Amino acid sequence: MKNKKPSVLIIYTGGTIGMIKDANTGELKSFNFKHIYKHVPELNRLNVLIESISFEQPIDSSEMTPNHWVQMAQMVFDNYSNYDGFVILHGSDTMAYGASALSFMLQGLRKPVIFTGSQLPIGTIRTDGKENLITAIEIAADADNSGMAIVQEVAVYFEYSLYRGNRSSKISANQFEAFTSPNFSELAVAGVTIEYNLDKLFRTKLTELQFFPKLNTHVGLIKLYPGIPFKAYQNVFDINHTEALIIETYGSGNAPSDSTFRSLIENYINQGGIVLNITQCSSGSVHQGKYETSTYFNKVGVISGGNMTSEAALAKLMHTLGNFENREERIQKLTGAICGEIG
Ligand code: ASP
């Protein structure tokens, strides 16, 4: 049983949460994170030892690239044994992609890695940033009676809800309730107390933390729409440009029976390309073969992405292509669950 103060490392990457209004220009700009206690004095009252590190140049999350994900994952990996939990402050726009990527890069977690951010800068009166930050720290520090972390995975905390990172999606550009996990229930809801959904929390079968820093970015994503000019997408279906593609299909995984589309897919797969079918509906799952318009996919070897979000599917493709060479192994990884992202 531990009785020392839990410790949390905050990794500040940028985004709205760390911004204040320039008094002269009115522009939003990042503040020096070392001054966080000035903006959130409540942190002094938490029974948590808080330390922070920051990106040298904090960024809007629209600027995030897989290299930044590697940087973040490396920061967690390097500090893993020194802290009880981690909070990553990140812009909300691409948070679901980043949280998904880190879930695949850091497998075997037994400590929480909580992404949070805000819709309003921490320096504004009605900010949602303070509550998000304080509760994210509380969750990152929370342990059960035996001293084990309650959350042992990458998660997103936003507006009183904790979501599995690789199940989350940003759904609102202006509501405080900006995230959801459409195909998986919340991991926790913060009210007067933080109520954990204990049977939904991920538990790894790995014996220790494994770091997978390699991401292969030769992946493409095509969203179908009525009238889509498939010929314009020829380069995306070129194995020299991409090694795997996500097709965002309609409903339960349906697509038009257009002959140009079909020959692009068949040639691509014959050359070794991988095609993953993800529904563009915000909830529900792909069921290839349910309708005649998706039976074709089964015939030519398109992989069903089940109920994965596009964000998780994209990160999972980058991870799978980055770490496994063999096509069968890649397909096996893509169809099964790695860390609670599907099913
Ligand atoms: N554009 C900002 C970002 O994603 C929005 C936010 O932080 O919520 O960095």
Tell me the per-residue pLDDT of 235-246, one tens digit each, with 9 for 90 and over.
Answer: 999 999 999 999
Q: Of 253, 258, 255, which is closest to residue 277 (Cα–Cα)?
A: 253
What pLDDT score does 337 carry?
97
Q: Which two tokens stand for residue 101?
A: 């990527």
What pLDDT score does 335 carry?
95
| Cα atoms in the 13 Å half-sphere on the side-chain side of 5 | 11
User: What superfamily would CATH give domain 7-211?
Assistant: L-asparaginase, N-terminal domain (3.40.50.1170)
Task: Quote the percentage of the chain above a pLDDT of 70.
Answer: 99
| Burial bucket for residue 74 (CB in 10 Å: 0-12, 13-18, 19+) | middle
Q: With the CA atoms of 301, 307, 312 and 313 taken in that order, what torsion angle do they form, in degrees rounded to the nearest 10?
A: 10
* Ligand 1 geometric centre to CA of 31 (Å): 14
pTM: 0.96
C-beta of 117 in contact with ligand 1 (< 6 A): yes
Tell me the average pLDDT across 300-325: 98
219-335 topology per CATH: Rossmann fold (3.40.50)
CA distance 305 to 279: 8
CA R_g for the chain: 21
C-beta of 16 in contact with ligand 1 (< 6 A): yes
What pLDDT score does 31 carry?
79
Q: Tell which atom from ligand 1 comes closest to the C-alpha of 61.
A: 9
User: Annotated catalytic sites, by residue?
Assistant: 16
The residue whose CA has the least distance to atom 3 of ligand 1 is 91
Taking 80 as the threshold, does the pLDDT of residue 136 lie above it? Answer: yes
Domain ranges for the chain, please list them. Answer: 7-211, 219-335
pLDDT band at 26 (very low <50, low <70, confident <90, very high): confident
What pLDDT score does 3 carry?
63
CA distance 162 to 156: 6
Q: Do domains 7-211 and 219-335 have the same CATH topology?
A: yes
Choose one of 13, 93, 118, 177 to mutate for the ligand 1 pocket test, by most ligand atoms within 8 angstroms of C-beta. Answer: 93
Name the 3-class secondary structure at 15. Answer: coil
Of the listed ranges 3-7, 169-173, 266-270, 323-327, the one predicted with least confidence: 3-7
Taking 70 as the threshold, does the pLDDT of residue 2 lie above it? Answer: no
Taking 90 as the threshold, does the pLDDT of residue 68 lie above it? Answer: yes
What pLDDT score does 51 carry?
95
C-beta of 98 in contact with ligand 1 (< 6 A): no
